[in-house]
């Protein structure tokens, strides 16, 4: 009889231990998620680009398939990409002060439009020049 009680007692302890571990895991993952949310909502990556140049940079990376969220659904990919940029970046606004990106939809649309073709070409030429300078610095290192 004592052995049965002891067995039941040990089973209860094991169940209790499993519940404690489960609770610890939930608290731990919840704590990590809260820290990630805190960091992403408080700290934003800053940019030296104007809003349109910032949009052009990321639109090109997205459009060329170098960065993506959903490679199979262009509309969904663009929507998620825009939301990501709005939530995680700032751009160089008036007088170089960092400004929040409230919406970048219009700038993304401009990147796609034919009328902004020349502006995008100039942006790409500047970006290529900067990358070539970097390549030269690495080669000379």
Give the start-to-end residue ranges of the domains of the chain. 1-43, 44-141
Residue 136 has pLDDT above 90, yes or no: yes
In angstroms, the Cα distances linking 113 to 79, 101, 102, 128, 135 are 17, 21, 21, 21, 31
The model's pTM is 0.67
Pick the range with the lowest mean pLDDT from 53-57, 68-72, 93-97, 121-125.
Answer: 93-97
> Which neighbouring-strand residues pair with 120?
none
Provide the 3-class DSSP secondary structure of residue 119. Answer: helix
Partners of 91 in the β-ladder: 99
CB contact at 8 A, 89 and 45: yes
Token pair 């609770």: residue: 23
**DSSP secondary structure code for residue 67 in this structure:** S
Is 125 in a helix, a strand, or coil? Answer: helix
Classify residue 31 by burial, with Cβ atoms within 10 Å: 0-12, 13-18, 19+. Answer: exposed
For the chain, what is the largest distance between any 2 Cα atoms, rounded to a whole number of angstroms?
89
Q: Is the pLDDT of residue 51 over 90?
A: yes
């Amino acid at each position: 009889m004592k052995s049965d009680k002891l067995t039941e007692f040990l089973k209860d302890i094991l169940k209790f231990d499993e519940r404690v571990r489960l609770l610890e895991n939930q608290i731990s993952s919840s704590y990590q998620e809260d820290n990630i949310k805190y960091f992403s909502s408080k700290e934003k990556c800053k940019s030296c680009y104007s809003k349109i140049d910032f949009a052009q940079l990321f639109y090109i990376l997205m459009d060329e398939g170098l960065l993506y969220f959903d490679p199979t659904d262009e509309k969904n990919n663009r929507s998620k990409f825009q939301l990501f940029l709005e939530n995680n970046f700032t751009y160089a606004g008036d007088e170089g002060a960092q400004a929040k990106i409230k919406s970048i939809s219009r700038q993304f649309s401009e990147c796609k439009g034919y009328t902004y073709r020349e502006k995008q070409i100039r942006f790409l030429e500047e970006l290529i020049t900067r990358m070539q300078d970097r390549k030269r610095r690495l080669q000379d290192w």
